[in-house]
A and B are shown apart, each in its own frame.
Chain A
């Protein structure tokens, strides 16, 4: 069942680089990461690639395979025909460090800008009571493995460096939604989502949902409901009036 596949792997660093050709053995049941590892072990020992668990749980081995953002460990070779050339490139939205490894620190900075979970002050450890049905909404978002595929695919920042300071990206807008939907979180996160994290930039093309390896419905379940919460706040006449009065006093 083995065959020789044609791979083109981007190699280089911040100063530039290009696609390098490899002919490499593929065996039954293998995934793209296996092939990258084989290239590393037999042809290019210094080929840089980030990976950890090889089971789709850590979100480290993100790359663009034939232009499509994917986890290399969860991309089976059987989805390609043996004749097909397979092109593997680093995530386009982030600066390349070397070969397939990119600098994803943008994401960690955005994570730091999301105010933490704020439980009611008087509630002691062990006293938390929540219903399963109420925690499930946020639990869906907590399935996120932080592979940042949604971040790399999002057109708001994919080719628009200038938007990066104003836009947290789907992953962290979803994090805000997750906290907003947490049954015991007392913070108000609606203005923040809109004003600080650029929720308004999202025009719900659902690319993030499409590439999510955890199949989280990022757009439908996090971003759109969050937009609705913001809109309710902005345009509900009673809330508007209440705020107006509060501001005056």
Chain B
């Protein structure tokens, strides 16, 4: 047997985006030895792509804001399917997490009083997003990165070793989690640079691997988003929830082809951008659903007035939650009223001066100028929906972020429940901070509670993973499969058959296709050696994408209603009976996936009381309303 590089840590954090870094900072602050593992270089995680901001009810711009209003907006956005406790914790703790970033050195845009400025965003009742122009995610990642560096400087001074208590393993991928009985005991992976294997022993693991977008052809996500954490957790015995809910961001670039899917921030609409079809019509006014009729302007005049006088006017429907806007754009294009390259027009040039646009939306100005030859200060952008975010993820305890597997935690996009069926823009960056910290804290508490006996790594398990991972490098023969081809077919399949609008036969066809892809996957072969071999890296990631895609398709087939990021053509309405149900996916004995229906956690009466009855009627069943009424009268 070859010797493998071996490390022992208290807490292992897989993923170095916002959630992972915040979790690691917390675990290290608790005095535990912490390792951060990332597929990329330190500071390159997908969080840098976040543009708009981080939602936190600080009330700096409108003092009417409070955690209760934020909670209410979050539940409305998620169509009441959210884990209410997570939404509550998120709304309560976000302001502290943002203020904390300032102590790490973050420089947010300011109000005239010198406080953190906050901007409007879809679904948020008040200006709520702390931001830095349209590059908030970069600020977040750099701030957390620099905080970790500062902790390493402290450790260098104290122990003479910068990496004594927190170390980053960059360009390192985890293939499998290891267990001892019901508890995690470590993780096995490889260095991308050399292809050499590496083994981590750790009693607590925080998954912070982000999303799954690379299973789709048109996506705003980077190559890293291959659902690793979702798949690792499932194979380790944890469960996934809400996997049918995928957010298609309404505004991705549609041209040129090579940039199709790249994000156009919602801030464009928050700052006054309007959507028009090929007939020049602001079509969003036609698409305000009943549940939101009371909160949105019904005329262009009122919508326009809102930008300068939000107290006395309702917001324009361009700022409806993302699922609504994405579906509307999809319908307009389908009806033949799209732009030349199959999107719609998004125009900010009529509302702001070129100077204001360059100041407030510098990345967008830059992106369109460099990649599409479009000057957004003078002409409209062409935009269309792009796969952006998965609401679903690892089922976790709302307070501790622990999954069903002892010692295994999940935070950020890889966890499920917080956003229900649809996430509001801005709620992701705050989610990362709030639940990243919680995961790190509770992982640390769990480790401290362990005695000297820690869960052990089994050599046989390690050997089995190693053999499996070597297979594509050793595969030979006539009928071998190219991983790039297989990936392209998977993306095509998911995009066409389990996209924005789902139909029973199509999702069924996707599941059949996934069977054949899984079969062919067993014959994947890569040429070249172990050292920095992208073909082999893709072969490793493909297994995760195939598993996660199956979970998405199974849940999408099961849920016969339309809600948030899941639209079934044959079942266009929201069904209160379905609101009570979470679809829970787990790995079954035969290596396949099983699906179960479980109740959504009940909304506490004091939280339910934040909504008026007329609104609750749109979401809850008659029995639930009666029970809530009884509770209130007691």
Contacts and interface: CB of A to CB of B under 8 A. Distances in A.
B535 A125 contact: no
B532 A98 contact: yes
Interface stretch (A55-63, A190-198, A239-247): A55-63
A112 B167 CA distance: 12
The prevalent SS among residues of A at the interface is loop
B526 A45 contact: yes
8 tightest A-B contacts by CB?
Answer: A29-B256, A46-B528, A117-B105, A116-B150, A129-B114, A45-B535, A125-B99, A48-B532
Interface stretch (B39-47, B199-207, B237-245): B39-47
Contact residues on A (Cβ < 8 Å of other chain), bracket: 35 or more
B103 interface: yes
A45 B46 CA distance: 24
A57 B117 CA distance: 23
A60 B48 CA distance: 12
Interface string A22-55: 0000011111001000001100011111111111
B347 interface: no
Contacts, number: 172
Given A45-B527, A116-B153, A52 B44 contact: yes
B484 A40 contact: yes
B82 to A, nearest CB: 27
Interface stretch (A132-140, A203-211, A217-225): A132-140
A154 interface: no
Given A13-B531, A125-B103, A182-B105, A34 B49 contact: no
B149 A112 contact: yes
A60 B139 CA distance: 17
B115 A55 contact: no
Contact of A99 (B44, B139, B532): B532
Nearest to B362: A143
A48 B193 CA distance: 9
8 contacts: A55-B259, A59-B44, A76-B370, A99-B532, A112-B152, A129-B114, A130-B107, A135-B110
Contact of B222 (A58, A112, A144, A215): A58
A146 B256 CA distance: 26
Interface string A113-132: 01111010001011011111
Nearest to A45: B535
B115 to A, nearest CB: 7
A139 B497 CA distance: 44
B366 A56 contact: yes
Contacts of B114: 129-131
Given A46-B528, A54-B262, A97 B107 contact: no
A132 B41 contact: no
Nearest to B150: A116
Interface of B: 40-44, 46, 48-49, 95-96, 99-100, 102-105, 107-110, 112-115, 117, 132-133, 135, 138-139, 142, 146-147, 149-150, 152-153, 156, 162, 193, 222-224, 255-259, 262-263, 362-363, 366-367, 370-372, 482-484, 488, 526-529, 531-536
Central interface residue in A97, A101, A146, by most chain B CB within 10 Å: A146
A25 B139 CA distance: 37
Q: In the complex, which of the residues B40, B138, B262 has the most CB atoms of chain A within 10 Å of its own CB atom?
A: B138
Contact of A142 (B107, B115, B371, B372): B107
A126 B103 CA distance: 9
Contact of B99 (A34, A40, A126): A126
Nearest to B132: A139
A202 interface: no
Query: Which residue among A114, A138, A143, A145 has the maximum number of chain B CB atoms within 10 Å of its CB?
Result: A143
Given A41-B484, A51-B223, A128-B102, A31 B371 contact: yes
A125 B100 contact: yes
A97 B193 contact: yes
Contacts of B108: 135
Nearest to A133: B110
Given A112-B152, A125-B102, A146-B43, A97 B532 contact: yes
B127 to A, nearest CB: 15
Given A111-B149, A117-B150, A101 B532 contact: yes
A19 to B, nearest CB: 18
A60 B40 contact: yes
Contacts of B263: 55
B258 A29 contact: yes
Contact of B370 (A58, A74, A115): A74
Contacts of A76: 370-371
Contact of B138 (A13, A57, A126): A57
A235 interface: no
A11 to B, nearest CB: 11
A114 B150 CA distance: 9
Contacts of A50: 41
Nearest to A104: B41
A177 B539 CA distance: 44
Nearest to A105: B170
Contacts of B483: 45
B113 A46 contact: no
B533 A52 contact: no
Contacts of B370: 56, 74, 76
B41 A56 contact: no
Contacts of B488: 41
A117 B146 contact: yes
Nearest to B263: A55
Given A46-B534, A146-B43, A182 B107 contact: yes
Contacts of A28: 256-257
